């Protein structure tokens, strides 16, 4: 059985119904899931892959529909203003997305969704982490990712892809993998599911289908443009990204409704401005917004990526604490965030633009245990040159370095700005081994 052609909004409703049926009736189901930070790239990867794959599936698909799961609770969607801005272009709303809240609670998860009834496709990561990983790691049957290979996905994945390659955006890899299927889908019109199953085309409203294609294309395009700075960041942009943007933009420009008014740069600037609009958030939510956890053999590393600088975070902390000094409030907030999650090592990576208009990065590393301290010192020594680490001070001359009382903390300017969390996280993890 193939899923008939539908809009993104209609498809997500179908996916939700399929998940409910699988839970209630013990049926097979295939999940597509991004990483635990659930950033824009992970969200669009999972939806785009599930959307196209459900309507043009492999002939021996494990289940009739691929269900995209955002790897956060539903409340986390509101912490991502770039999602809400992008949804306007894709004709969906936050309530349409499926999240961890749509899965059974942990005590009954395995009984309602037995591992043998599930198949998991990973996008934007290649190792299923957290509680889901503890239950379903052996059921991973495909991956498309642009991070370092972790060797957790089987080498043979049958009809599903196993792609782990460098690209600015994982959505680029997903788009390029799907383009032949997407072309088939578009050629079949409105009743594409039945037509594909029968090996022929049925008539349908091609104008509506082009609108649906354009909505899906804008969903994917946003992630690629954000991750590559509108293809202008030469340290990140690859041929995968350029080819994907060309394909998605063509999908948008063949839609009569959008062709005359679409401007890629304006589209990018609109989504990017929303992504950086975090001034109204609480500091704890800012730290959580783009947070990733690695738990390797009980050693926990957490990294928060933030699109404003440390001085912004210090001022935010002071505004919220009121009675404390700026630095006490800031360090207290970070300490509370890390200890609540029982981290051995916590890092905050910031991006911002200098007064001269230069892109810049700051890197804070804070160790909370003996193993964390040893790892932090090793990281500082081994990664100093690669990352271009330089002594940091705040605008008012404050430094946060600390090496006593069972803690170790350093803050640097990271001058080699081409290295994002995709590179810093493996370096920190290597130091912990």
| Domain's final residue, options 220, 243, 271 | 271
* Beta strands at 162-164 and 291-296: parallel, antiparallel or unpaired: unpaired
Query: Residue 132: pLDDT above 60?
Result: yes
Q: Are residues 204 and 353 in the same domain?
A: no
CA distance 181 to 220: 15
Residue 85, domain extent: 8-271
Residue owning tokens 């420009």: 253
Is the domain of 154 the same as that of 303?
Answer: no
CA distances from 280 to 52, 261, 287, 303, 430 (A): 36, 31, 13, 22, 36
In a domain, 246, yes or no: yes
Based on the structure, what is the number of domains in the chain? 2
Domain boundary among 271, 300, 334: 271
27 & 129 share domain: yes
Instruction: Give yes or no: residues 193 and 99 share one domain.
Output: yes
Question: In which element (H, E) is residue 349 found?
Answer: strand 345-353
Residue 405: pLDDT above 80? no
Mean predicted lDDT score pLDDT of the chain = 92
Q: What is the CATH number of the domain that holds 420?
A: 3.10.310.20
Order of all β-strands in the sheet with 118-123? 66-69, 29-33, 118-123, 140-145, 162-164
Predicted structure pTM score: 0.89
Residue 3 lies in a domain: no
| Dist. CA 44–CA 219, nearest whole Å | 6
Model pLDDT for residues 256-298, shown as the tens digit of each residue: 999 999 999 999 999 999 999 999 999 999 999 999 999 888 8
Q: What is the mean pLDDT of residues 308-325?
A: 90
pLDDT at 48 over 70: yes
Residue 278 lies inside a defined structural domain of this protein? no
Q: Residue 200's pLDDT is what?
A: 37
Residue 354 belongs to a domain? yes
Per-residue model confidence as pLDDT tens digits over 79-120: 999 999 999 999 999 999 999 999 999 889 999 999 999 999
pLDDT of residue 196: 40
Looking at 222, 245, 271, which one is the last position of a domain?
Answer: 271
3-state helix, strand, coil in the chain (%, to 5): 50, 15, 35
Whether 231 and 195 share a structural domain: yes
Tell me which range, 89-98, 105-114, 184-193, 390-399, is most confidently predicted by mean pLDDT.
89-98
Statement: residue 195 has pLDDT above 70? no
The pLDDT value recorded for residue 187 is 85
What pLDDT score was predicted for residue 205?
A: 65
My answer on whether 288 and 248 are in the same domain is no
Backbone angles phi, psi at 125, to 5 degrees: -170, 165
CA neighbours closer than 13 Å in the CB half-sphere of residue 122: 31
Domain CATH for 142: 3.90.1640.10
DSSP one-letter code for 99:
B
Q: Tell me how long the chain is.
A: 433
Q: What is the pLDDT of residues 165-175, one digit of tens each?
A: 999 999 999 99
Answer whether residue 1 is part of any domain: no
Residue 325 has a pLDDT of: 86
105 vs 192, which has greater pLDDT? 105
Q: Which residue, among 302, 322, 251, has the nearest Cα to 424 in the 3D structure?
A: 302
Q: Measured between alpha carbons, how far is 152 from 136 in angstroms, rounded to an integer?
A: 12
Q: How far apart are CA 289 and CA 80, in angstroms?
A: 7
Q: Is 294 a domain residue?
A: yes
pLDDT at 190: 55
Whether 290 is covered by a domain: the verdict is: yes
393: helix, strand or coil: coil
Q: What pLDDT is stored for residue 146 in this prediction?
A: 96
Domain check: are 72 and 163 in the same one? yes
Q: Which residue has the tokens 């943007």?
A: 245
Give every CB contact of residue 222 below 8 A, 6+ residues apart in sequence.
40, 44, 82, 86, 89, 267, 268, 271
Q: Is residue 168 domain-shared with residue 37, that is, in the same domain? A: yes
Same structural domain, 287 and 316: yes
Residue 394: the pLDDT is 78
Instruction: Let me know whether 259 and 360 are in one domain.
Output: no
Best mean pLDDT range from 157-166, 202-211, 322-331? 157-166
Answer whether residue 134 is part of any domain. yes
């Amino acid at each position: 059985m193939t899923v008939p052609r539908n809009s993104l909004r209609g498809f997500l409703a179908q996916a939700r119904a399929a998940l409910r049926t699988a839970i209630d009736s013990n049926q097979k189901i295939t999940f597509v899931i991004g990483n635990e930070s659930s950033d824009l790239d992970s969200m669009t990867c999972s939806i785009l892959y599930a959307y196209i794959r459900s309507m043009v599936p492999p002939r021996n698909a494990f289940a009739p529909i691929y269900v995209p799961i955002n790897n956060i609770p539903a409340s986390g969607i509101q912490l991502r203003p770039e999602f809400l801005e992008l949804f306007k272009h894709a004709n969906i709303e936050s309530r349409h997305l499926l999240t961890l809240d749509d899965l059974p609670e942990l005590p009954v998860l395995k009984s309602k969704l037995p591992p043998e009834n599930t198949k998991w496709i990973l996008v934007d990561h290649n190792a299923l982490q957290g509680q889901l990983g503890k239950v379903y790691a052996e059921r991973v049957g495909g991956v498309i990712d642009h991070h370092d290979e972790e060797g957790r996905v089987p080498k043979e994945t049958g009809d599903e892809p196993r792609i782990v390659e460098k690209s600015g955006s994982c959505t680029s890899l997903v788009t390029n993998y799907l383009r032949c299927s997407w072309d088939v889908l578009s050629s079949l019109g409105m009743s594409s599911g039945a037509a594909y199953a029968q090996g022929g085309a049925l008539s349908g409203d091609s104008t509506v289908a082009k609108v649906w294609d354009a909505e899906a294309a804008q969903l994917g395009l946003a992630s690629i443009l954000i991750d590559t700075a509108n293809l202008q960041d030469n340290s990140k942009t690859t041929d995968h990204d350029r080819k994907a943007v060309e394909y998605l933009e063509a999908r948008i420009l063949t839609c009569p409704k959008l062709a005359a008014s679409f401007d890629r740069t304006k589209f990018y600037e609109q989504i990017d401005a929303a992504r950086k609009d975090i001034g109204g958030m609480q500091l704890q939510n800012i730290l959580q917004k783009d947070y990733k956890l690695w738990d390797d053999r009980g050693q926990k590393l957490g990294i928060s990526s933030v699109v404003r600088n440390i001085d912004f975070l210090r001022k935010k902390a002071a505004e919220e604490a009121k009675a404390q000094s700026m630095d006490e409030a800031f360090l207290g907030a970070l300490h509370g965030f890390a200890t609540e999650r029982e981290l051995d090592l916590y890092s905050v990576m910031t991006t911002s633009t200098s007064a001269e208009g230069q892109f810049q990065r700051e890197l804070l590393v804070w160790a909370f245990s003996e193993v964390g301290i040893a790892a932090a010192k090793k990281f500082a020594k081994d990664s100093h040159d690669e990352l271009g680490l330089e002594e940091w001070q705040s605008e008012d001359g404050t430094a946060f370095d600390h090496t006593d009382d069972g803690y170790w903390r350093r803050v640097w300017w990271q001058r080699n700005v081409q290295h994002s969390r995709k590179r810093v996280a493996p370096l920190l993890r290597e130091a912990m081994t």
